Chain A
Amino acid sequence: MPGLDDLYREIILDHYRSPRNRGELAPPAVRAEGHNPLCGDEIQVYLDVVDGVVNDIKITGSGCSISLSSASMMSQAVKGKKIADVKALVNRFRSMMGLDIADAESDTDLVSIEDDAEVDVPEVKLGDLEALQGVVKFPVRIKCATLAWITLTQAMAEVPTA
């Protein structure tokens, strides 16, 4: 079995101990809720989008170190980004988790992303999120890492189109 050092990298533990962007946002920010039926974890993503840009994002809920650190890093990564870029990042993250982007339409785990074809995946930088790469070696935990991203995708679908 791969060592736990591959999984519990220091930056992951840092985000777990001190999660960024914790809290709620009032409407007109949208809210989406995700569940991991396997372990009972619940996460809420609040997303405030102004003129196609993520103005603010907040996260509440409970979960393991992988799901909460993934949510924390995700919130940092998407804040201030255009929705189109966020979608590209979601796909990049999916890809890192070993989930096939081409299958996004049929994958029941992740809500499909409409404009897959327009996304140029290799261009997107993951930054700190690269630390979650090790999760792939522990397949049971992939659902933990992707929970926040599924919930973010649901939140984006809730954003009223201008």
Chain B
Amino acid sequence: MPIADRVAVRLRVNGEEMAVMVAPYKTLLEVLREDLGLTGTKHGCELGECSTCGVLVDGRPYLSCLAMPLDLEGREITTVEGMAHGSDPDPLQVAFAELGAAQCGYCTPAMLLTARALLDRDPHPTRDAIKEALSGVLCRCTGYLKIFEAVELAASRGRRHG
């Protein structure tokens, strides 16, 4: 049985319906970056060992490098490009920028989305809850402290607008 070159997949990404023809063996990471041009989602290992490729699926943290697009039809996928409301950044994005929580910026998209999932579930998390929630995203620059502080600052500023 020859392997299909391309299959049709309908994905809902950042609130937008996107229908694309993709190789069925491409992971969500590859489809986002290469077929949909959403390069805000990064990658560090493609094996689930760093979560740099983290996105949200139905508001929960997900690894795009291990997720198969064909299983995600009908699910809501959020990438860093979908965090802002129009030109209004998410309060987490503002806090990360202000507090220097993004140094090189490479783990930042995954870190922001993971923090967004946390705040949506627990708007005023303790430091321990923040550490636990972010424990799956590796950062080599910050030592994590500015990231924790930025999540706390965003939490103190309340819910996202819009």
Q: Please indicate whether A and B come from the same complex rather than being unrelated chains.
A: no
